[in-house]
A and B are shown apart, each in its own frame.
Chain A
Amino acid sequence: MLKNTYLLETPSQTAGPYVHIGLAPSAAGFDIFENNFGPVLTSAETRGERIRIEGRVLDGSGTPLRDVLLEVWQANAAGRYQHPQDHQHDKNRDEHFRGWGRTCSDFASGIYAFDTIKPGPVTGRDSKLMAPHVNLWIVARGINLGLHTRMYFSDEESANHADPVLNLIEQEVRRNTLIGRRENTPEGTLYRFDIVLQGENETVFFDV
């Protein structure tokens, strides 16, 4: 058989229980880098509504993972990604918002959190507008290949209804697994988003 000349993607391996050492050493209990990548995506100058995203990642027994690491990637308040390949010229850049963060669940409670802003809608395929969403990537011991999912916002009902990605999910009941629930707390706006790896209400994951 003739072979083509493409290379093949390096296979994945689990991040294991000690992912913190490499990606969040301060969570592992030691300081080594001057600059740590963390869960706060905003600065004072960032434009947009301040929000916190908080939740747990649950295994097939309903137990929260206490060794999980998540990364978030999102557009700015206008719906534009801080990336040279985002050419949505009708939307402003925000040099004070990178759109990327990394967090670990708490070793005791299993709760993770990001402090960020609510993103604007991004133009998707065939010029269809996607509802505001954040992209999440989840790794931990026992997860053989990082899991991609999205969190949408409960107060964007009509945009969610028209979202081309949510509408790919045939079982409407499963679309609810991607909705973060808005709560107003004394500290500010919170979106609660639990991610279920297995079992009842298993979160929808994407093969991107």
Chain B
Amino acid sequence: MTSSELYQRNHDRHPPTYTPEYKSSVLRSPRNAPISLQNSLSEITGPVFSSSELGPLDNDLIMNYAKQGMPIGERIIVHGYVRDENGLPMRNTLVEVWQANAGGRYRHKKDQYLAPIDPNFGGCGRTLTDDNGYYVFRTIKPGPYPWRNRINDWRPAHIHFSLSGTAFAQRLITQMYFEGDPLIAQCPIVQSINNDDAVRSLISVLDKTAAIQLDSLAYRFDLVLRGRRATLFENRLQGKA
């Protein structure tokens, strides 16, 4: 693998810092422009993970918190490929997910929604991508839920994704939505992205090919992390070029 700089981030596809329709951003958004930093080792390196750090059920949200039975809800598979902007597979990337249960309730001290907690569902999982950049989770389809933004705002059903990449500057958190959900178009968090094509890239598609017969439907969700230039970085760093 070559040591090289990352492509500059394209901010047109990301939500701006200040998005007043999503009210929490108002006091939590920096007002000064960020300082643009050409990559150094501090940005092109990042933590390396190994499969020995994960447990065998970590990517199985149906079973990893099942205490006295199975969680309630639609059983689904969520799977896809993590690539970089050059289309190359992102291997050994830590993919972490979290979500509400089928009723739209999180297992969290701060979630006061009246939907019940599912005693058999924790709502989190993690895995490492394989040599092809492929990941897979098994879970329960999360429910939509109301939240305190505008008084009658509802989040579309979604799964949170966190990706490590191989460089600290590739670190990314996003959310996966489900094809056909009418709440997507009304959600202030989704709409914080001012780019329809970028929003579409967060919507997973029903994937019957990967469904398990008489068991689970499947959704396909591919992700892209920042690409790297082909130019060797350390040559410049060492002053040899």
Contact = CB atoms under 8 A, between A and B. Distances in A.
A117 interface: no
A3 interface: no
A186 interface: no
B27 A61 contact: yes
A142 B40 contact: no
28 contacts: A6-B86, A9-B10, A11-B201, A12-B173, A13-B189, A21-B107, A22-B160, A23-B98, A28-B109, A32-B65, A33-B55, A73-B168, A83-B46, A84-B1, A98-B47, A99-B47, A124-B42, A135-B42, A142-B24, A143-B25, A144-B16, A165-B37, A197-B30, A207-B9, A207-B11, A207-B34, A207-B35, A208-B9
Nearest to A29: B109
A18 B101 CA distance: 13
Contacts of B43: 135, 208
A194 interface: no
Nearest to A13: B175
> Chain B's interface: helix, strand, loop or mixed, by majority?
loop
A83 B40 contact: no
A11 B108 CA distance: 26
Nearest to A12: B14
B97 interface: yes
Contacts, number: 279
Given A12-B173, A22-B162, A124-B40, 15 more contacts: A6-B227, A8-B10, A8-B198, A11-B14, A11-B193, A13-B174, A16-B160, A22-B96, A73-B45, A133-B42, A144-B19, A146-B172, A169-B35, A202-B31, A206-B37
Contacts of B111: 18
Given A7-B84, A107-B109, A206-B35, A14 B126 contact: no
Interface residues of A, number: 83
B25 to A, nearest CB: 5
B interface bracket (residues with beta carbon within 8 Å of A): 35 or more
Given A11-B198, A28-B108, A144-B14, A208 B27 contact: no
A50 to B, nearest CB: 20
Interface in A75-118: 75, 81-88, 98-100, 107
Contacts of B169: 148, 208
Interface stretch (B68-76, B210-218, B230-238): B230-238
Contacts of A51: none
Contacts of B98: 18-19, 21-23
Interface in B145-181: 160, 162, 166, 168-169, 171-175
Given A10-B225, A18-B108, A145-B17, A197 B29 contact: yes
Contact of A142 (B29, B237, B239): B29
Interface in B98-143: 98-99, 106-111, 122-124, 126
A9 B48 contact: no
Nearest to A79: B41
Given A21-B98, A86-B41, A144-B14, A7 B224 contact: yes
Contacts of B168: 73, 135, 137, 148, 208
Contacts of B85: 6-9
A146 B171 contact: yes
Contacts of B224: 7-10
A150 B42 CA distance: 10
B185 interface: no
Nearest to A101: B47
A19 B175 CA distance: 12
B128 to A, nearest CB: 13
Contacts of A205: 30, 32, 34-35
Given A61-B27, A83-B46, A144-B16, A22 B3 contact: no
Contact of A125 (B38, B54, B109, B174): B38
Given A71-B171, A87-B234, A204-B35, A7 B87 contact: yes
Given A107-B109, A124-B40, A59 B27 contact: yes
Interface in A152-177: 165, 168-169, 174
B34 A85 contact: no
